[in-house]
Amino acid sequence: MLNRIRQSIVYRIGTLMLLTVLVSLSSMVASYVISDAAENDAAAVNLAGSLRALSYQLSATAPSGDIEATATLADKLAQRLTQVLSISDFAASDNLRAARNYRKVIDSWEGEIRPLLESIAAGQTSSDSLQLATRLEPFIDDVDALVFDYQTIAEEKISLLRLVQVGSLFAIVALVYLSMYILHRFVEQPLKQLTNRSLSIAQGDFNQHRLEIDSEDELGVLARTINYMSDEIHATHQDLAHRVEQKTAQLQKSHEALDFQYRLARRISEGPLPGAELGQWLGAFANVADLDNLDLCLMTPEGEAPYEHLVQGHGNSHCSGSECGICVSTCGPTDESNHRVYRFPLEVDKRNYGVLMCTLPQGESLDDEQQQRLATFADSVTAAIAINEREAQERRVALLDERAIIARELHDSLAQSLSYLKIQVTRLNRANRSEQVDKAKVEEIITELKEGLDSSYRQLRELLTTFRLQIGPGGLRSILEQSILSYREQHPQINVLLDYHLDEVPLTPHEEIHLLQLVREASQNAVYHSQGDMVQISLTQADNHSLNVRICDNGIGISSAPEKRNHFGMSIMQERASNLNGKLNIRRREEGGTEVQFDFTPLYASERERELIWRNA
């Protein structure tokens, strides 16, 4: 029970309420019992008091000789004595003072007073009223003592009732005070502390003073729980704050690394990276990644030693340079004489361009993020070298292609013209060595030589114009319009028309160059060999996004002989068409003239078609 009261505030308050109710009920029951016991006390006092009056009446009636009146009063007095006993709280045989006085009154009445009164009334004993009153005086004194006893009993009951009421009042007041004290001490103050602590926790303050509630009841358990919860939350909050700081630092590092990779990628896209600048990028990477002792060895695929060895910090001080092939082919961490080396080969498409090394003291290692950054930097360097090599290869291929085109152009134009001039010079020598020089024939040969030289010079100028051709800011349309103006100036008798509808088509530089050269080749053939007065150039786009190029003239039409076709540069146009994966068709028009028709699909349309196929799949 005491443990329950100590461990439960609810049980404690309930016990106080129960005690208060029990005290109140006890007071009510005691009051009821006492009041019920005192119910006949007034009647008993009244009846006992009336015995004195009847005694005085008998002292006056008996000497008169009225036997009947005396008997009536005597019976009435005896009856009241019986009534007094019946309403008393004690029996006649009790040892109480009131019971003893009652028995004394009964004994005096039945043994002395009543027989005396009846004898006097019957005249058997002579006595006057004064003498009788004197003889009744002890009886009356006993009756007075009995009345006093009943009065005392009634007063004692009233005093007991008052004592019970006062005691109940004090007990109830004490219980109420005790309840208020317990509520204030063990409920109000702890609840106030709990409320203030809860408000501070709600505001995010977990570092206030602990709750000093040492009771074993529910509020004490709640206070200890809140203290534990606050400590745990505070520790968790500090841990989270520390982790947030670490994550923020990591994110900052990641941001710096991403910014570094972005700047490096942008620089790679701008052009080749020389060794000195690559060393600067290696230093910047070391600062971003918080790494020292970096080595970047660059090698040719066929070489056995690096042509460039860039070092950041102390680098790999144990690098002897005698086993570069093994070092380049090794990947991952290795332990070498009191240090740990991480190697990241610069490899792409099974071609190795060198290795990136990071040297650490023995016992230290790189985390996953640092290894990822090193691998990313190695990939970027590899991509830069590969892009530079690819661009150089493309430039070499483009140069060789252009040289092949120049050779074909020279062969189809100047070479044939020079061969023709050589033949004419041979004829002229023969004519000069003959015994009889035919001046007319010599003049004819000289005239043909002059025309051949003019033709060769004109072809040379056209070739120079073609080889110097560049596409400026105006794009394909602008250069075509400039070429047409040049044709009109050189050949005012020929009307050259342009129908251009490719303003919304995004052509690549490769497509523009080949398309321009093809149109110029076909239009030059039409201008110089068609013998017509109109050339129409049309560039349009079909519904399937393919491009249609048509060059038409109203001249004599193309020859069906193969050697004539080659003379007009048809093979060059076929090669340019194949470079664009297009279809070239050259035919004689029914209404007269020649039509060169070329159809091809530009790169952007091919990519769109592949995207649609992928989406449908």
The per-residue pLDDT for 597 is 92
State mean pLDDT over 282-301: 81
State the average pLDDT for the chain.
Answer: 77
State mean pLDDT over 275-300: 82
Per the model's pLDDT, the better-predicted residue between 541 and 320 turns out to be 541
- Which string of DSSP letters, residue by residue, matches 343-388? EEEEEETTEEEEEEEEEEETT----HHHHHHHHHHHHHHHHHHHHH
pLDDT of 565 > 70? The answer is: no
Q: Name which of 515, 527, 514, 525 is nearest 567 in CA terms.
A: 525
The per-residue pLDDT for 465 is 62
Least confident window among 182-196, 414-428, 508-522:
414-428
Tokens of 488: 């009109």
- Any alpha helices (H) in 296-355, and if so which ranges? 324-329
Whether residue 312 contacts residue 293, with contact meaning beta carbons closer than 8 Å, is answered with yes
Query: Quick check: helix, strand or coil at residue 582?
Result: coil
The per-residue pLDDT for 236 is 85
- Which residues, 6 or more positions from 264, have their beta carbon under 8 angstroms from its beta carbon? 281, 377, 380, 384
pLDDT tens digits along 144-156: 777 777 777 777 8
Q: Which residues of 282-301 are buried (b: 16+ CB within 10 A; e: fewer)?
A: beebbebbebebbbbbbbee
State mean pLDDT over 319-323: 59
Q: Name which of 83, 74, 92, 75 is nearest 48 in CA terms.
A: 83
State mean pLDDT over 194-215: 74
Enter the pTM of the model.
0.45
pLDDT of 341 > 70? The answer is: yes
Q: How open is the CA angle 141-143-148, to the nearest 5 degrees?
A: 95
Residue 54 CB neighbour total at 10 angstroms: 19
Band of the pLDDT at 550, cuts 50, 70, 90?
very high
| Separation between Cα atoms, residue 546 and residue 541, nearest integer Å | 6
pLDDT of 606 > 80? The answer is: no
Most confident option among 30-44, 90-104, 121-135, 529-543:
529-543
Band of the pLDDT at 328, cuts 50, 70, 90?
low
pLDDT tens digits along 347-362: 877 777 788 888 888 7
State mean pLDDT over 273-301: 80
pLDDT tens digits along 80-110: 777 777 767 667 677 778 778 778 878 877 7
Per the model's pLDDT, the better-predicted residue between 617 and 85 turns out to be 85
